[in-house]
Amino acid sequence: MRTSRFLLFILLALFYANTVSAIIVGNQFTRDGITYEVTFMDVAHDGHPARYEVKFVSSNLAGALNIPETVADLNNQYTFKVTAIAANSTVPNATSVTIPSNVTTINANSFKGNNITNINIPATVTEIKDGAFSYMEGLKAITVDAGNSKYSATDGVLYENKTEGKYLSAYPVAKDGTPFGVGGLEFTVPEGVVGVSTNGFQKAGKLSRINLPASLKYLPTNQEGNGFTSATNLKEIKVAATNPNFQDIDGVVVTKDGKTLVSYPNNKGGIKDTNYDAPLSIDPTHAKRPGEYYEIPAGVETIKDGAFAQVQTITAVKLNDVKTIKKGAFYSVRNLRNVEISSSVTSIEDGAITGSPDLLSFKIDAGNPNYMADSEGVIYNKAGTELVLYPAGRAGEYSTLPTTQTIRNRAFYYAQKVTKVNFNSGLTDIGNDCFQAAAALKELTFTAPSTLKNIGTFSFYGTALEHLTIPASVENIGWNSFSPTKLKTVEVEDGSKLKTIARDAFANNTDLEEFKFLGSSDLEKIEKGAFKGNTKLKEFTIPKNVTTIERGAFDGNSAMEKVTFDQPAKIQTIGEGAFQGAQALKRIELPNTVTTISKDAFNTCKSLTEIVIPSSVTSIDPTGFQECGKLEKFTVDQNNPVYSSVDGFLLSKDKKVLKAFPPAKANTYYTLLPPTIEEIGAQAFYYVQELENVTIPEKVTKIDKFAFDRTAKLNTIAFLGQTPITNVDPSAFNPANVNTHDIQISIRKNAQAAFASNAFWSGFKQLGISFFEEVNGTGNGETEFFPLSQKAVMVVDTKADVFTYVVPKTVTNSTDNHVYEIRLWGDYALKDSPATSKFEEVVFKNQLDYMGLNAFDKADGSSSVKRIFFTSNNPTKDMSATKWEYGNTQHEFNSTLKIYVKKSVLDDYKSATGHEHAGWGRYANQIDYKIPNDVKVQHVFATFAREFDADLGIYKREKGGSGSDIGAFIVKSSNVFVLNNGTALFKMTSINGTGSNVNRYNYVPANNGVILATLNGSATPADFYYAIGEEDNAKYTPNAGEQNIVEGVTVKDKSIQSTAAAPLFGMSASKGTLLKIPATPFNMKVHKAFVKGITGAVGSAKVSLVFDDEWMNGNIHDGTGNTAGISDVESNTKKQDGVYYNLQGQRVSNPQHGIFIQNGKKVVLP
């Protein structure tokens, strides 16, 4: 029966199993208010259909409970048949229950609850375990469908047809009996019934008498019960006088020959005797049951298994002539305090007298030839080699006799007061269930040298052990032997002979923090669930001889951070769910002996970032690494014959099948897949919760089962191919979990018709089409942008006819005004560009994340691009040739291309380390921050404009005193003045005083035209260079109301011409003066600037440039048309402090002699 243990099983299973979302056998899940446990999972194979089964566990639903025939798991991946009702299943609020027709098995103590009065058994049920309905406290009637050949019901009582005849299987707990005597209720088992099943009348609390027929042949029992266990009012069991097999003696059933006592009624009293009252040491207030003994009838030699199980009335028993006490004969006789074992007893079987908390010691007749009691009242065999029974009421510490070799099964069973046990050196075997439910047992010691070999099943189940050292001599630890306990640490001694850690041996020890092997170990197998549910266990070292880690061995160990395999390892199989739920595990490297990674082996390892797969692995289940949200990469040994990895993706050896997608690669902007793949394998993207988008390579022709199931955030699928994929498994986008109407399909424009006519893909949200926009000026050619997500586009083609092609940060689709970031430059993006598209420069003003193969090559392999500029502080992380591991066979850039970046990030670009991908290292010799040749000043003045911020002062800063210094100036529209002689004065203002976010006089914001002036010499040196400005994070904003009339020319040359109303002025490079642009078209070179004339200067034939300083004391235009000339020349024999200019308005830093302008006056220096 083991009611309490079964209940503990259920509670523990609920504790850890409901925390996982993938499913293996033994896991539980709750759907629609009903909890199920998985009992069987098998895919279709060898002609056998797929088989998935669960059992009903519990439900808190009120009213009528209808258990469905089938149920889907919470992931809607499997459809399970409900084939069984679990032991200790609970329905506390149900008033009725409908068992589905798929159910074949109903286990013990099913449907616990108080409200169900009737239950019907379907025709499909073929097995109902003993005591199946014993905890349905309100049950009054059981019925059976007519088609059931094994079970039937008469008058609400369940019967079973067995080979030997008809058995009474279950009497409803709340069913009334037939009145007899004064207030008595009885039930007579019908004639023809040959047996009463164990627990057939369990908890039939209304009956005080049961009558057995003459036909009865069988009354089976077990070590925890008989056919009438816990029938709390039962005072007598009467047997028909003509029954040839049994008789009753005063209501107690014995065999016909009177030699075996079979069943003692639960509520039958004994003979009152104060000699058997409880001693004051345990009953100082006389609250316990008064002394009441039962004397075994004369002639009885055997007390059958479970004969007195759970009897509550008697406190003592006199055995008289008894020779054999069978297993569990006196199991849990709660008030039993005295057992007098006579000299006649020759056999005491395992656990014969257990679970009596007031039984302080055993007394054995001194003349007994087979048994003795030690000084503590503990029963041993006569030789002292076997510890047989420990009195459950004895408290405190106990030491086994030095001669002890074996502790028998159930010897300390439910001894709930023992706190410490010291084992002798010669002990070799601790039996099954030995210390089970010894709830106060906290400590064990093993006298050295320990010879212990076996620790039996359930041996320390439910104890309070906190620390354990397993002797090296131990060869076997049985299943559930230390589960659950209070264990915090476990150590296995060096030289351990332990071969197997059995199923659930250390499971559900929620305080266990450390399990260590202190040296060598012979361990070969870790069985199912051996360490499951140990939520504080942080690391584990697998001994080198272990070959198999079975299903769920470490399932639910949420704190597990590290798993180490001792070398040289022999491990071959990682079982189903072996490390499922190891949420703290960050990395695992499997030994080169592992061949199989089973279903859900590393499922929900939420911290796992890398899995290293050796060459030996030949089988990886598609679910092996699901729900590992931080998994960045699979690293597969290059010699693996079945699998490979590229950029962290798990692929088939030929790189044609995507086996598993590392969830951490899901990118909100784009998610690219290896271009070699032709098939997206089963469950490749299963439960990748952060997957918002994916780009399907051109070669893909198949999408397999559940490939995109449970991708809750998926909103965009982009197809690089132009032909719709037709081989798509119906479950690939599992309709139970994925709404394809929420997913946008993105395609190239020329594939629109094919996808629109495809029945499957046209059913998605909408077709997103690549779009064309002019981003380098109207009329300069369109660029095709391909949306890969809701946020980002890839440049896939351009027809731009410019000199410098600028890639902006964003682009707006003019058809719907959707704004995208430009994050990718596609493979072969210029291969289809026309002959007119021959730009020499590309400026990336965006955060470029992906650079495609042969990025700037045309179809014939040629390229006009000579220079590229990256203004971003972050190097492109996905360099295609490196990302897809092409080696040196492919490249992004040709070897002659010059690459310019900011000085501050030069090392980041050039270094092969420090990046997610090291694709920049191969171009280190092509990367620089010094931009040469663009800026040439021949005679003091020049003009300049660039598509990016330009730092013109870096040359001076790096060269020091010898470096050429340049200032950048603008001309405000309000600062143009005309002298009396008609000369127009253009007042130049240093760039750093004209607006926000420019702090240096030699820093030119992007797309701003400026006049350059050399500040220490008349020309720039031949090696002059500048750099990309570092301050482009802040936008340059001119001061309010001020307009710069120096207009820069960027992207390409510009055709300009003066008009009478709007004259234009250009800088003569050779003369360093402004000249009026002719009235005919004039080609202004890119990256230069011109000055726009304004009213009042329209007719000026001569133009002079002057600086801010000149206006401090001089005469300026007064707004009325009256002007004053420059003052007469003033003789000055000594050079004064201040700024000097020549008569052309050019600043002179070290004037020597001649006429100059100072403070608005002409001066002569001799």
What is the helix (H) or strand (E) element at residue 16, kind and residue range?
A: helix 3-17
Residue pLDDT, tens place only, 973-1016: 777 776 666 677 788 888 886 666 677 889 999 999 999 999 88
**Euclidean distance between CA atoms 899 and 4, whole angstroms:** 75
**Euclidean distance between CA atoms 26 and 139, whole angstroms:** 30
Beta strands in 859-965 (DSSP E): 867-870, 878-879, 898-901, 927-928, 931-932, 941-944, 950-951
Torsion-angle region of residue 556: left (phi > 0), alpha (psi -120 to 50) or beta?
left
Contacts within 8 Å (CB) and 24+ apart, 810-813: 810/846, 811/773, 811/775, 811/783, 811/785, 812/773, 813/771, 813/773, 813/785, 813/787
Any idea what the Cα angle at residue 435 is, between residues 431 and 438, rounded to 5°? 175
- pLDDT class for 1166, splitting at 50, 70, 90? very low
- pLDDT class for 1137, splitting at 50, 70, 90? low
Q: Is the pTM of this model over 0.85?
A: no
- pLDDT class for 1108, splitting at 50, 70, 90? low
How many CB atoms are located within 10 Å of the residue 284 CB?
9
Residue pLDDT, tens place only, 824-867: 999 999 998 888 888 999 999 999 999 999 999 999 889 999 99
**Euclidean distance between CA atoms 687 and 737, whole angstroms:** 10
**Euclidean distance between CA atoms 1065 and 1058, whole angstroms:** 8
Closest listed residue to residue 1087, CA positions, set 899, 950, 928? 950
The correct CATH number of 1-139 out of 3.40.50, 1.10.10, 2.30.29, 3.80.10 is 3.80.10
pLDDT at 298: 96
Q: Which residue has the higher pLDDT, 19 or 665?
A: 665
Rg, Å, the chain Cα set: 46
pLDDT at 118: 98
DSSP 3-state percent helix, strand, coil across the chain (nearest 5) = 5, 35, 60
- Is there a contact between 354 and 410 (Cβ–Cβ < 8 Å)? yes
Which residue type is seen at 661? F
Inform me whether the pLDDT recorded for 475 exceeds 50. Answer: yes
How many CB atoms are located within 10 Å of the residue 739 CB?
12
Inform me whether the pLDDT recorded for 79 exceeds 80. Answer: yes
pLDDT at 316: 96
Q: How would you label 415-434 residue by residue, b for 16+ Cβ within 10 Å and e otherwise?
A: bbbbeebebbebbbbbbbbb
Residue pLDDT, tens place only, 920-958: 988 999 999 999 988 999 988 999 999 999 999 999 999
Inform me whether the pLDDT recorded for 10 exceeds 70. Answer: no
How many CB atoms are located within 10 Å of the residue 402 CB?
11
Q: How many CA atoms lie within 13 A of 847 on its CB side?
A: 9
Residue pLDDT, tens place only, 415-453: 999 999 999 999 999 999 999 999 999 999 999 999 999
- Report how far apart the first and last C-alpha atoms of the chain are (Å, whole number): 123
Q: What is the 3-state secondary structure (H, E, C) of 431-464?
A: CCCCCCCCCCCCEEEECCCCCCCEECCCCCCCCC
Tokens read off for 737: 């979990």
Residue pLDDT, tens place only, 562-581: 999 999 999 999 999 999 99
- Is there a contact between 1151 and 1158 (Cβ–Cβ < 8 Å)? no
- Report the SS3 class of residue 719: strand
Q: What percent of the chain has pLDDT over 90?
A: 79
Q: What is the mean pLDDT of residues 15-19?
A: 39
Closest listed residue to residue 68, CA positions, set 102, 108, 40? 102
How many CB atoms are located within 10 Å of the residue 1090 CB?
23
- Is there a contact between 221 and 211 (Cβ–Cβ < 8 Å)? no
Any idea what the Cα angle at residue 854 is, between residues 848 and 860, rounded to 5°? 145
Torsion-angle region of residue 526: left (phi > 0), alpha (psi -120 to 50) or beta?
beta
Q: What is the 3-state secondary structure (H, E, C) of 665-690?
A: HCCCCCCECCCCCCEECCCCCCCCCC
pLDDT at 541: 97
pLDDT at 1017: 84
Closest listed residue to residue 330, CA positions, set 315, 344, 345? 315
- Is there a contact between 460 and 431 (Cβ–Cβ < 8 Å)? no
**Euclidean distance between CA atoms 228 and 582, whole angstroms:** 47
Residue pLDDT, tens place only, 690-744: 999 999 999 999 999 999 999 999 999 999 999 999 999 999 999 989 999 999 9
**Euclidean distance between CA atoms 507 and 1065, whole angstroms:** 88
Mean pLDDT is lowest, of 380-389, 582-591, 768-777, 1149-1158, for 1149-1158
Give the strand order in the sheet containing 966-978: 941-944, 1010-1014, 966-978, 983-990, 1102-1107
DSSP classification of residue 78 = -
pLDDT at 3: 44
Tokens read off for 383: 């030789």
Closest listed residue to residue 1127, CA positions, set 1164, 1082, 1089, 1083? 1164
- pLDDT class for 1042, splitting at 50, 70, 90? confident
DSSP for 615-681 reads TT--EE-TTTTTT-TT--EEEE-TT-SSEEEETTEEEETTS-EEEE--GGG--SS--B--TT--EE-
Inform me whether the pLDDT recorded for 1162 exceeds 50. Answer: no
User: Which residues touch 427 (CB under 8 Å, ≥6 apart)?
Assistant: 400, 404, 405, 406, 407, 446, 450, 451, 452
pLDDT at 1101: 54
**Euclidean distance between CA atoms 568 and 1109, whole angstroms:** 83
Sign of CA dihedral 992, 997, 999, 1002: negative
**Euclidean distance between CA atoms 442 and 422, whole angstroms:** 12
**Domain locations in the chain as residue ranges:** 1-139, 770-928, 932-1108, 1126-1166
Inform me whether the pLDDT recorded for 131 exceeds 60. Answer: yes
User: Which residues touch 1164 (CB under 8 Å, ≥6 apart)?
Assistant: 1129, 1130, 1131, 1132, 1154, 1155, 1156
- pLDDT class for 337, splitting at 50, 70, 90? very high
Q: What is the mean pLDDT of residues 135-159?
A: 97
Inform me whether the pLDDT recorded for 535 exceeds 50. Answer: yes
Closest listed residue to residue 956, CA positions, set 1017, 893, 875? 1017
Inform me whether the pLDDT recorded for 405 exceeds 60. Answer: yes
- pLDDT class for 918, splitting at 50, 70, 90? low
Tokens read off for 360: 């302080």
pLDDT at 972: 84
Q: Which residue has the higher pLDDT, 1138 or 960?
A: 960
How many CB atoms are located within 10 Å of the residue 87 CB?
23
Distances (CA, A) of 810 to 10, 413, 820, 1052: 57, 75, 5, 21
Architecture of domain 770-928: Alpha-Beta Horseshoe (3.80)
Q: What is the mean pLDDT of residues 1142-1151?
A: 59
- Is there a contact between 159 and 193 (Cβ–Cβ < 8 Å)? yes
Q: Do domains 1-139 and 770-928 have the same CATH topology?
A: yes
DSSP for 760-787 reads TGGGSS-EEE-EEE--S-TTS--EEEEE
**Euclidean distance between CA atoms 1102 and 753, whole angstroms:** 64
**Euclidean distance between CA atoms 649 and 661, whole angstroms:** 6
pLDDT at 15: 38
* C-alpha 340 chain-centroid distance: 61
Mean pLDDT is lowest, of 464-478, 635-649, 761-775, for 761-775
- Is there a contact between 956 and 1101 (Cβ–Cβ < 8 Å)? no
**Euclidean distance between CA atoms 944 and 936, whole angstroms:** 10
Q: What is the mean pLDDT of residues 519-540?
A: 97
Sign of CA dihedral 908, 912, 914, 916: positive
Q: What is the mean pLDDT of residues 294-300?
A: 97
**Euclidean distance between CA atoms 297 and 293, whole angstroms:** 12
**Euclidean distance between CA atoms 878 and 776, whole angstroms:** 25
Closest listed residue to residue 840, CA positions, set 944, 943, 947? 947
Look at strands 966-978 and 950-951 and give their pairing.
unpaired
